[in-house]
Amino acid sequence: MKLYILILISFISYSNLFGQKLNTKIVFVIVDGISADVLDKIETPNLDAIAKKGGYTRAYVGGAKDGYSETPTISAVGYNSLLTGTWANKHNVWGNSIKDPNYNYWTVFRYAKENRPELKTAIFSTWLDNRTKLIGEGLPQTNYLKLNHHFDGFELDTLNFPHDEDRLYIHKIDEMVTDEAARYIKDESPDLSWVYLEYTDDMGHRYGDSEQFHYAIAIMDNQIGRIYKAIDFRRKEFGEDWQIFITTDHGRDKETGKGHGGQSDRERLTWIVTDADGINDYFKNGTPGIVDILPAMLRSLEIGPERSREFEIDGVSITGPLSVSDLKASIQGTDLTLNWKSYNRDKKLKVYLSTENGFKNGIYDHYKLVKKVKGNSNSTKIDLSKYPSSFYKIVIEGKHNSTNAWVISK
């Protein structure tokens, strides 16, 4: 009997060990200023190898052109759109000075620390402001958020990295950032990491569409390969589950390739590479935005934002099942017209309406369920005469996700 009990206990323990789902570890990388049309011309064997495991797609930044969410195609603005899953009308970063971020729209690091405080977080960055201003480490507005590891700020170290006109010091910093990211991933296995590499954008600004810019992209691909080698080491040696998301923050102007910041097609044209399992139809056949990476990372980390926060996220996940995406809203008279794309055509969708925007000040908004619609209808109209206002927030919610839009009547 004792032997039977021991065997049974051993079997249960063994079954539990191999029946448990592995915690997914996330690395996201922003490589600065590479429009998709340029990337498509350059040999990038490491990005290509990663994309073969998951996928590659053209994507966009800049919010809705000429709409309420139009967002400058500027570096820090793009970073924060990825970090928060929202456009600048919400996160309030409009330029590289990062004057007054709205921390009520949480970054992926805030979601991680508030929902799963055991997760080990890290940043490897050429630019200090990514941690101190965008993530807002240690600030009361972010509940004194603290990362477990940071390796950044070297652009301020002019002794070891004297600034030169050719910006080679940025290349040297990127190399050091890459080496530390690879080392830390290999040795410490963080759960959520951000790697930021700048040199490509510097070469774009200095030389535009040129051999120098193309060579910087080849260097970047090599750096990605070194980081990914560390990820593969953890997979093979420790059986860990990892995902990587790689993207850029903006494209380049069509005239010379030296500038960005506007709303031309090329300045908005970006891309996403990932090895994630379960990339969905939206990733494969749609045009994802930079804001769509956050929901995918939260899914992989098994973090479900509370409903009031989920209703504010502008992105929809590029992995896993979806109910709805691409919500568009317009007003004519008292008629609100909504259009969307459905993925579960036989499932009902709920339409919510709010005339408040207290969320930007940390106050949760009240939403009213105004309609239930068939998913396959892809459009509906709502009579707004019952809800007089000059401002509306609309949310469509399905089984797998929600998406939102604003309407500002003039």
**Residues 237-289: pLDDT tens digits?**
999 999 999 999 999 999 999 999 999 999 999 999 999 999 999 999 999 99
Q: Number of C-alpha atoms within 13 angstroms, CB side, residue 391?
A: 6
In whole angstroms, give the CA distance from residue 338 to residue 326.
10
Mean pLDDT of the chain: 94
pLDDT at 20: 42
Q: Which amino acid is at 378?
A: N
Contacts of 221 (CB under 8 A, 6+ apart): 42, 43, 44, 45, 46, 47
Residue 21's pLDDT is 58
Given this model, what pLDDT does residue 29 score? 99
End-to-end CA distance of the chain: 81
Confidence of residue 3 (pLDDT cuts 50, 70, 90): very low
Rounded CA-CA distance 101/77 in Å is 10
pLDDT tens digit sequence for 276-318: 999 999 999 999 999 999 999 999 999 999 999 999 999 999 9
Q: Indicate the pairing of strand 379-383 with strand 24-31.
A: unpaired
CA distance 316 to 319: 9
The reported pLDDT for the residue numbered 8 is: 36
CATH architecture of structural domain 22-310:
3-Layer(aba) Sandwich (3.40)
Give residue 111's Cα distance to chain centre: 13
Does the pLDDT value for residue 185 go beyond 60? yes
CB-based contact 59:247 (threshold 8 Å): yes
User: How many CB atoms are located within 10 Å of the residue 165 CB?
Assistant: 6
d(CA 286, CA 184): 35
Query: pLDDT tens digits, residue range 36-89?
Result: 999 999 999 999 999 999 999 999 999 999 999 999 999 999 999 999 999 999
Q: What is the mean pLDDT of residues 376-387?
A: 94
Q: What is the pLDDT of residue 335?
A: 95
**Domain extents in the chain:** 22-310, 324-408
pLDDT digits (tens, 9 = 90+) for 196-212: 999 999 999 999 999 99
Q: Are 252 and 38 in contact (CB under 8 A)?
A: yes
pLDDT at 6 over 80: no
- Could you please state the CATH topology (level 3) that the domain comprising 324-408 is classified under: Immunoglobulin-like (2.60.40)
Query: Of 163, 165, 175, 166, which is closest to residue 222 (Cα–Cα)?
Result: 175
- pLDDT at position 19 over 70: no
At 114, the amino acid letter reads E
Q: What is the pTM of this model?
A: 0.94
Q: Please determine, for residue 9, whether its predicted confidence score (pLDDT) is greater than 70.
A: no
Q: What is the pLDDT of residue 22?
A: 72
Phi then psi dihedrals of residue 251, to 5 deg: -95, -145
Going by pLDDT thresholds of 50, 70 and 90, the confidence category of residue 11 is very low
For residue 311, count other CB atoms closer than 10 A to its CB.
21
* pLDDT tens for each residue of 345-373: 768 999 999 999 999 999 999 999 999 99
What is the rounded average pLDDT of the residues 377-402?
A: 96
Q: How far apart, in whole angstroms, are the C-alpha atoms of residue 360 and residue 187?
A: 40
Residue 10: pLDDT band (50, 70, 90) is: very low
Distance CA 14, CA 6 (A): 12
